[in-house]
Chains A and B, each alone.
Chain A
Amino acid sequence: MSGTGRGQAPRIVTSAERLRRLLALVPYVAARRAVGLAEAAETFGMTERELIDDLNLAWCVELKAPEPYCPIDLSYEDGEITISQAESIARPLRLAADEASALLVALRMLAEAGGGGSAVARVIAKIEAAAGAAGAASSQVRVQIESPNVPGVSATLATALSAGKRVHLRYYVPPRDEETERDVDPMRLLVVEGRHYLEGWCRRAEGVRLFRLDRVLAVDVLDLPAQVPEEAEPKDVDAGLFRPSESDVRVELDLAPDARWVAESLPCESVTELGEGRLRVVLRAADTSWVRRRVLRLGEDARVASPATLAAEVREAAAAALANYE
C-alpha cells in the first residue's frame, strides 16, 4: 500500500504498482475516444514521460501462442492517446478490499457529518454494489464524530456558506476562558480529528481562522455578503491542526507517574523519561495561559520546569485561589 503523490518527484514504482496503474489506465483511455496526454498524466499522478513509458509497455505486450498476436493496440500523436484495441482488459479491475473500504468508510463518515446531501446514500449503495465482497471489511472500521454543543449551528453555517453570507459568532476561547464576538466570512466546513470546524475569514483578526463548532455559543446569519479576500489561503489541516511556530514560548513540564498519560493529549515537541515513571515534556505555546490552566488542573502531579515566569504564574494563581477559601 502506498500513497499516490500528486505532483511529486518521480519515484520508484514496483512492477505490481505499475501493473495496477496500467490496468486502470488502459480502460480509462479505451472508454474515451481520445485523451490528452497531459490530462491522463494528471489524472494518474504521473509525468508525461512515465505515461508514455507505460503506454509503450502495454503496446509491446505480445502473446506467442496459440498464434502470435499483440492484444493491445494504441497510438499517441499530437498530444492525444487513442486505444483502438484493449481486448480483455478494456474494463477496469474490481475494487480491492483496501480500495472499497477506504471509499466506503469515507462516504459513511461524510454522511454522519451531515455532508453530501441526499446523494451520499445513493453513492454508498452504488459503491457497495460495485465492490461486492471487497467492501465487507469496511464495516469493521467505524468513525464517530462529536456533535456541536448547540444544535443547528452546523446547519445554520452550511446555509450561510451556500448563500455566501457573513455570520456573526459568539465564540468561546478556552485558553483565556473568554467569550468573544466576531464577524466571519465562511470559507468551508471541515471535520478534523473527530470535530467539526468552520474555516473563515475573521474580520476581527483579519486572517483565516478555524472555529470549533462545539465552542460556538451562538450564530447569526447577517444580511451581508461574505467577502473573503483574495489573499485568504485555506489552512492545510491535513498535517495536523497544531502548528508550533518558532516564536512560540518553549515550555518544559515535569509529569508525575499519575499524570504521564497527559503527555498524549499535549502537542509535545519531545518526551523524555526521567525515571520512576516520571516524564519531562517539551512543548510550544503561542499563549501560555492554556498551559497554566492545564498545570493547575494537575496540582502536585505537574511542575513547570521552565520558563520561570510561567512557574511563578502558576504559584500565584494557586495562592490567589486558596485565599478565596480562607
Chain B
Amino acid sequence: MSKRRTERLLSIVVLLLSSRRYLTAEQIRNAVIGYPEQDEPFKRMFERDKEELRDLGIPLETGRANPVDDEIGYRIRRQDYQLPEIHLEPDEAAVLGIASRVWQSAELAGAAAGALLKLKAASLDLDDGDDGAATRSRGIQPRLTTQEPAFGLLWEAVRDRRPVTFDYLAGGRSNVTKRTLEPWGVVNFRGRWYVAGHDRARDAPRVFRMSRITGPVRLAGPPGSVTVPEGADVRELVKDWDRTPARDRTAVLRVREHAGVILRQWARETVAEDGHPGWDRVTVSFADAGWYADYLAEFGPDLVVIDPPDLREAVIRRLKGSLT
C-alpha cells in the first residue's frame, strides 16, 4: 500500500510541477494512476494526499482552474518548490558538516540530516564533507541534546504559533499547577531547556523549565493564533529568570590551605591567617546569606566563617542539621 501511495504522491508532484495552469481534481485523477473509480473514495483519498503533500512542505497552490467557471484547481510553482541555487566554499562545507551533527535529539537531528541531504542534492560542494574529518576535529564540536520529553511538542507549538497547556511543578514547590501558555520561544540555558511566553492566567510573561513540566503538553489553539510581541527576547527573559543577584556583601572566611580552590579564584584577598598555621584568611563577595551558606557548608571542616554573623549562623545551622 505504502509503495502505491508514494508512487501516487510522486506522480502528483511531477504532474503539478510540469503544468503552468491550475489542474482540477478531475484532471489530476485522469493523469495519475491509482485513484479509485467511485467519487466518494476518490475525494477522501485526494484530500489525504493533499494534506500529506503540504505536511512535507510542498507548496500546493489553489486557484481558479479556468476563467469560465469557479472550479478550484491545483498547481506547484517551480520557484516556490525548488531549493534556490547554493554554492559553498570548502571551509563552508566543513562548517555545515559540523552543524549537521549538533542536534542529538530525535526531534531535530532528523531534520538537520534531511536538510543536509537536500543541500547535497542541490550542490556538489558537499561531496567531500566526510574527508573533512581532520578539519572538523580541529574545531569546536557543539552538541545539543533534548532529554526533556516536552521539547518536541513545545517546539512544534513555537514553530506553528499555537498556544499550549501543561501541568507544571514550580521550583521548590510540591504542588502542580495547570498552565496555559502562548509560547514565544524555547531557550537552552546552561544545558537546560526552557520555554518562555505569555502565561494567560497570570496575564504576564513567564519562563518554564521543561524538566519541571509533568505529563503531556497539549496544543490549545490553531496554528498562527499566537502573536510574539515585537522585540520580545526570550533569551533575556530566561536570563532574568535565572539571574544571580549582585554580590554586594563581604564575607571573611578561614580556609584550610589547599582547600577551596575555586573559592580562592573569586577571592578579593587571600592572606595567611595569624595564629592558625595551615589556614588562610580569604575575603570574598557574596549576594545572599542563605544561598551562600549552602555552598560554604559543603567545605565541612576545611572552612570557618568569621564574618558576617548571619552567614556564620546560617552555616552552623546547616552543619547541625547534618548531625542527626
Contacts and interface: CB of A to CB of B under 8 A. Distances in A.
The answer to whether A and B assemble together is yes
B122 interface: yes
B231 interface: no
Interface stretch (B3-11, B65-73, B200-208): B3-11
A123 B82 contact: no
Interface in A249-282: 257-258, 260-261, 264, 277
B294 A193 contact: no
A32 B109 contact: no
Contacts of B324: 300
Interface stretch (B39-47, B254-262, B267-275, B280-288): B254-262
A224 interface: no
Interface string B212-230: 1000000000000000100
A221 interface: no
Interface string A287-305: 0000011111111110000
A74 interface: no
Interface in A167-194: 172, 174, 177-179, 187-194
Contacts of A92: 82-83, 118-119, 121-122
A4 B145 contact: no
Nearest to A278: B174
Contacts, number: 401
Q: How large is the interface on B (under 10, 10 to 19, 20 to 34, 35 or more residues)?
A: 35 or more
A31 B185 CA distance: 38
Interface in A77-131: 87-89, 91-103, 105-107, 109-110, 113-120, 122-123, 126-127, 129-130
A22 B322 contact: no
B91 A300 contact: no
Q: Say whether chain A's binding surface is mostly helix, strand, loop, or mixed.
A: helix
Given A144-B188, A299-B318, A27 B140 contact: no
A190 B143 contact: yes
B62 interface: no
Interface residues of A, number: 133
A244 interface: no
A107 B95 contact: yes
A122 B78 CA distance: 26
B30 A1 contact: no
A111 B26 CA distance: 51
A99 to B, nearest CB: 4
Contacts of A96: 56-57, 111, 114
Given A110-B140, A261-B172, A322 B323 contact: yes
Given A61-B7, A296-B297, A93 B118 contact: yes
Interface in B138-194: 138-145, 147, 152, 155, 158-159, 171-172, 174, 184-192
Contact of A106 (B3, B84, B100): B100
B259 A177 contact: yes
Contact of B13 (A23, A45, A65): A23
A117 B91 contact: yes
A64 B33 contact: yes
Contacts of B320: 299-300, 318, 322
A119 B94 contact: yes
A194 B322 contact: no
B316 A318 contact: no
Given A28-B117, A300-B324, A57 B6 contact: yes
B235 interface: yes
A14 B56 CA distance: 12
Contacts of A322: 316, 319-320, 323
A66 B111 CA distance: 37
Interface string A179-222: 10000000111111111100000000000000000010100000
Nearest to A28: B121
A240 to B, nearest CB: 7
A232 interface: no
Interface in B94-137: 94-96, 98-100, 102-104, 106-124, 137
A140 B304 contact: no
Contacts of B103: 102, 106
A324 B228 CA distance: 56
A35 B244 CA distance: 56
A91 B83 contact: yes
B117 A44 contact: yes
B248 interface: no
B310 interface: no
23 contacts: A4-B110, A22-B10, A27-B122, A31-B122, A31-B124, A95-B118, A96-B56, A102-B109, A103-B99, A105-B102, A105-B144, A114-B140, A116-B99, A117-B95, A123-B96, A130-B83, A142-B188, A194-B190, A240-B147, A261-B171, A314-B322, A321-B299, A323-B301
